[in-house]
Chains A and B, each alone.
Chain A
């Protein structure tokens, strides 16, 4: 791996989510040499965890499949999973980048036969499903994982359990001696597309996330709605696995809030509307309430808002919910707020509450930091004086998938320009 050859005519893309994959492919399909690094054991990032996209309600895996196919046949792209950038030095047209690869404990011989999972008895919270279910410590991250290869959790690598998995593999694919490796790359430009983290909802204390089981976040609901999620796609209450009759969405759960994220996360209104359609599809009798400050559905996405409003069972209530209390016996949640259109006090009970949590950008975290500009919230800004490293997607602004892809396509050209200037 350390013998990977790159030059100052190569482009490094950091982050294998939708933005990173796009930036890498667009540059490579124009004939440029690209290296993509991703910290997860699979590519696809956050969109791989989504059930559907708004407004078309189509599955993200469809577009990912096309992109993975583009990668498979393109010799100009090399990619590394479980890889992180450790250091960046140099300047536009001449960067030295240090990459760290964490051990996967499964090598290229893996055929995905699943024998290791069969014998493994140690279970972990499934990171792909935000810990809502368990996964064996030797596992395939998810069915659509690309590259399709198993991974072993470090916690069992040096144990008897690890050895058991090793012995079960007929193909010699489990390598318990793998260790962290490091290598350096020389590149001419860098696209930073490391994506975002959901804002920690437990910080909005009065919503009881982490304390009340039936208060979940929007990203968790995506997993609940997905067939490859913890409930095989049935949206059920985490507390008791029961079906739901009333669901509330709380918008701006942390966003547009100077105590948390002062900016608007841009996508949560549409995400909640989309998720309301998931619920309505599964439960024809379920009442959905969306509590909001302003509904922000730009451009033709307004049509989706119009469509969702037509559903009589979906109610939009202008109110920032101020409090949630749980009925310990039933797990039901009582929401309190003020309907600001009527001035009436809201005290409503729900089976499930979904917090529309916002986006926190994944900043460049190498020390020392390279020469880039950020705004006060940590989003990368474009400064022509500091060319060479370009943000793409949600590291620049909280935004939806289509805009991230546009942005990543633009970042690919900026990176090419940095190379062309040499």
Chain B
């Protein structure tokens, strides 16, 4: 578009008191083509807006630079429609409120900020949403036909969308179909599983296509455009879908590993799953002789909460054992169940069922098992009874039930090994190495994605393809593919149903957003997408390797094959590319590069160092605003540039800045490591690793590595900002001025 640019400076909120506005107008815009530069005492008020709207109307202004408050506020006020470019320059929180008024340094800061804003506006284009050539599908593939899978499909259908279920067994139902009864809200008594009704509703719904005895052979494509190859009873089928839900459930922990609890040794030691199947089939009896069960003992956490087996809690086993004790009681009112537990974990209203189990006379023993044995055809269990404070023996037991935990079906028996990179220290003799849990090559086969970064969803600890986020439990590392139910964490049926409904919501939403070219979470609403200038690509593979979402495939010659609908618009690929061939309409290497150049670097003898901080726009930038609101102050020599993610920082910016005489660069990003906070997974970590490589650049320029530093800063760490900046400025002072000044 032909830009007609105007600058509007608000002098309200102390901005006018802090700055020489006339000088700002002149110096801040001098190098740019600007139609107007006006100021107003109250730009966000009705008069100010009238002025803006009049200019837009009368003068055809289509690119508006608002030099006023932070972009985080008045976003709605300064929105002039989708066909206008609005660039916000922060003169309030990060200038007038955090710097002394009417000082030369404050003025220079404001002028730099305005120049950067003008530069950015010059390089910004209106995004044109991506539209694929093929037609988009809004159908949802559900892998797994258990309670979570069926619920997801049914809720998809009820909302008016089509669903496809692929179930490997010959009928739907999953584990729910193996159960005798369920215990759920309001947790007063046992209830029917409802599995038949659920299966019927799925099968009767014309919007749901069910493939049983089927597996997913391959999922290729991208959100809105997935092509799914299915093998169904030996035949091949293909479905086109827009999004995928993985509800592949769980398997019980292998009780053969629990020999110390008598499993495999005594016939009457069984697992809770075997108990459930026996109960569902009819009568609960002693497997050894088919006789009636009078006394039973449940060993809780059999394998769970145990660092040698499953370190996590399997969440459902307490309720399951209480339920199964109820089966016994219903079968024989004289039956007695002992529950040997670590903690009774009947969370929320489920506490009521604990009470019911107590009322039934079941005996709860807090402690740990030390031996399981047999004497005269009956089992006994020895345990440390914590509350009694002694070792005890529970004898004359007909049955011992091991409450074994849940293992996500995604978790492999053995960690797969892949060929290690050449210089890898941990590689074995054959040059192989274990794959990382968070790689797409770790999990058991379920989706068979045709993704360069592996065929399955990356997993977290213990093989759960869960979200890492508390606030965004559906934040997935494969766009448009959501895990639901017990594959992602151990959960009871009611929760698995809710989870499946939530996953269906996300899947539907993804297809809707994709169809209009919009990004999904966390940059929901973003209409830009990365464009590749392929002529200059050197096939270095950095973008395909570093994309946290596996959005970019490769052809056999290692050319990147972008899938824009898989993209989350973090721009990490842009940061990774040494040839700088990846750019967005409104975010590019040259755009930030030009902003860096717009900063005036004073001569060395002026003794005014210049430092640039590249800040994460989600966390560090709001923290700076907060510090301003709190009227904290810091060095006037630092210039802040918000970036989509620190992972989008291209090292050329560092080289450019330093070769222009900038004295130092500070990268302010999210926490990384195990509890990383980057919503693009690896952004801040990548920025940190890339920085290690910067030292080469610095060496080449004969500069000190102290000039570039990465700091972790959370959104609420604003109290630390003056300190962090102060320390860095001191360091820069120690190192001395950049010798490239004035070149």
Contacts and interface: CB of A to CB of B under 8 A. Distances in A.
User: Do A and B have CB atoms closer than 8 angstroms in the complex?
Assistant: yes
B315 A420 contact: no
Contacts of A414: 155, 501
B159 A420 contact: yes
Contacts of B715: 59, 61-62, 65
A67 to B, nearest CB: 8
Interface stretch (B232-240, B488-496, B722-730): B488-496
B32 interface: no
Nearest to B386: A341
Interface stretch (B175-183, B268-276, B508-516): B508-516
A241 interface: no
A228 B716 CA distance: 9
Interface in A385-416: 397-403, 405-410, 412-414, 416
Interface stretch (A68-76, A174-182, A193-201, A322-330): A68-76
B619 interface: yes
A109 B43 CA distance: 10
Interface in A32-91: 47, 51, 53-54, 56-67, 69-70, 72-74
| Interface residue SS majority, chain B | loop
Interface string A294-314: 111111111100100000000
B437 to A, nearest CB: 13
Contact of A405 (B186, B473, B525, B675): B473
Interface string B272-314: 0000000000000000000000000000000001000001111
B160 A263 contact: no
A124 interface: no
Nearest to B622: A65
A192 interface: no
Contacts of A47: 471
Given A143-B630, A148-B73, A405 B472 contact: yes
Contacts of A376: 186
B671 A58 contact: yes
* B: interface residue count bin: 35 or more
Contacts of A410: 155, 498-502, 505
A181 B494 CA distance: 40
B347 A296 contact: yes
A66 B468 CA distance: 16
Contacts of A256: 351
B619 A65 contact: yes
| Interface residue SS majority, chain A | loop
B675 A407 contact: no
A31 interface: yes
B327 interface: no
Interface in B451-465: 460-462, 464
Given A58-B671, A416-B159, A417-B155, A379 B349 contact: yes
B348 A401 contact: no
A224 interface: no
A306 B525 contact: no
Interface stretch (B50-58, B338-346, B735-743): B338-346
Contacts of A398: 347-348
A112 B72 CA distance: 13
A113 interface: yes
A74 B75 CA distance: 11
A64 B502 CA distance: 19
Interface string B614-631: 000011001000100110
Contacts of A412: 505
A264 B509 contact: no
A63 B619 CA distance: 9
Nearest to B45: A109
A403 B466 CA distance: 13
B159 to A, nearest CB: 5
B348 A294 contact: no
A60 B504 contact: no
Interface string A358-389: 00000000000000000111010100000000
A226 interface: yes
A133 interface: no
Contacts of B376: none
- B471, B524, B618 pick with most chain A CB within 10 angstroms: B471
Contacts of A30: 505, 508-509, 512-513
B629 A143 contact: yes
B568 interface: no
B69 A264 contact: no
A31 B675 CA distance: 33
A417 B501 CA distance: 11
Contacts of A72: 75-76
B101 interface: no
A397 to B, nearest CB: 5
Given A62-B619, A375-B186, A397 B675 contact: no
A397 B467 CA distance: 22
A206 interface: no
Contacts of B702: none
Contact of B389 (A60, A62, A343): A343
B471 A62 contact: yes
A70 B525 contact: yes
Contact of A299 (B312, B524, B671, B719): B312
Nearest to A74: B525
Contacts of A31: 512
Contacts of B473: 402-403, 405-406, 409
Contacts of A409: 473-474, 501-503, 505-506
A60 B471 contact: yes
B502 A406 contact: yes
Contact of A66 (B464, B500, B618): B618
A73 B467 CA distance: 25
Contacts of A377: 349
A227 B718 contact: yes
B158 interface: yes
B88 interface: no
Contacts of B718: 143, 227
A170 interface: yes
A249 to B, nearest CB: 16
Contacts of A64: 471
A111 interface: yes
11 contacts: A29-B509, A30-B505, A72-B76, A143-B629, A143-B718, A294-B344, A318-B386, A379-B349, A406-B473, A408-B502, A410-B498
Given A54-B470, A62-B714, A67-B471, 17 more contacts: A26-B506, A30-B512, A111-B42, A111-B69, A294-B344, A296-B343, A300-B462, A375-B185, A381-B185, A397-B348, A402-B471, A403-B473, A410-B155, A410-B500, A413-B502, A414-B155, A420-B160
Interface of A: 18, 25-26, 29-31, 47, 51, 53-54, 56-67, 69-70, 72-74, 108-109, 111-113, 143-144, 148, 170-172, 226-228, 232-233, 256, 262-266, 294-303, 306, 318, 340-343, 375-377, 379, 381, 397-403, 405-410, 412-414, 416-417, 420-421
- Please name the 6 residue pairs, one residue from A and one from B, whose CB atoms are nearest each other, closest first: A63-B471, A409-B502, A410-B501, A413-B505, A294-B343, A30-B509
